[in-house]
Amino acid sequence: MGVRVALSLSSLSAPANALLGSDAVAHVWTCNADGSPQVSVVWVVVHGDEILFGCDRNSRKAVNLRRDPSIVLSIEDDVRNSQGFQRHLVIRGRATLGDRPDPALMDQLSMKYTGLHKHPLALRDAPSSIVVRVAIDRISGVGPWVEPG
């Protein structure tokens, strides 16, 4: 059996950190109980060595992550590489689910993605809102985060 070593966000390249800091949304992939994929679009923010997003504790992604914390995030850049391929960052990791709402995080995400100081959706103040923390295991994709130079 292999040893799982989580990567630190500080070990990611500057271009990867820049993409994560942009307003590009993340597509989150989890695994349904029957093995089929479940995909959601989420707003993400980097906090320390983790990537955070909010969701409802009863959402399909939260239910899936409680059963299997494996997660994939795909973030598409708005740039094409020299071969014409759309650049994108793929992050494979492990999710940890919080147990309470975090209105300040939701407002931070709102400011990043909409420019609004207060999150416009009911998720901000919903008692069923939780924070998902993603520890990075591996990165891939197309872009300077995996290509030399």
Domain ranges (residues) in the chain: 9-98+128-142
Q: Which residue type sits at 81?
A: N
Asked if 63 contacts 130 with a C-beta cutoff of 8 angstroms, the reply is no
Measured in Å, how far apart are the chain's first and last C-alpha atoms?
Answer: 33
What is the full DSSP assignment across 56-97?
Answer: ETTSHHHHHHHH--EEEEEEEEEEE-TTSPEEEEEEEEEEEE
Tell me the β-bridge partners of 37.
31
Question: Cβ neighbours of residue 76 under 8 Å, at least 6 residues apart?
Answer: 24, 27, 86, 87, 88
Res 56 pLDDT > 90:
yes
pLDDT of residue 125: 84
Domain 9-98+128-142 matching CATH 3.40.50.300: the answer reads no
How far is it, in rounded angstroms, from Cα 26 to Cα 13?
Answer: 18
Sign of CA dihedral 135, 137, 141, 144: positive
How far is it, in rounded angstroms, from Cα 94 to Cα 50?
Answer: 10
pLDDT of residue 149: 45
Confidence of residue 4 (pLDDT cuts 50, 70, 90): very low
pLDDT digit string, tens, across residues 68-110: 999 999 999 999 988 999 999 999 999 999 999 999 999 999 8
Taking CA atoms, 18 is separated from 12, 37, 77, 87, in Å, by 10, 28, 10, 13
How far is it, in rounded angstroms, from Cα 54 to Cα 130?
Answer: 6
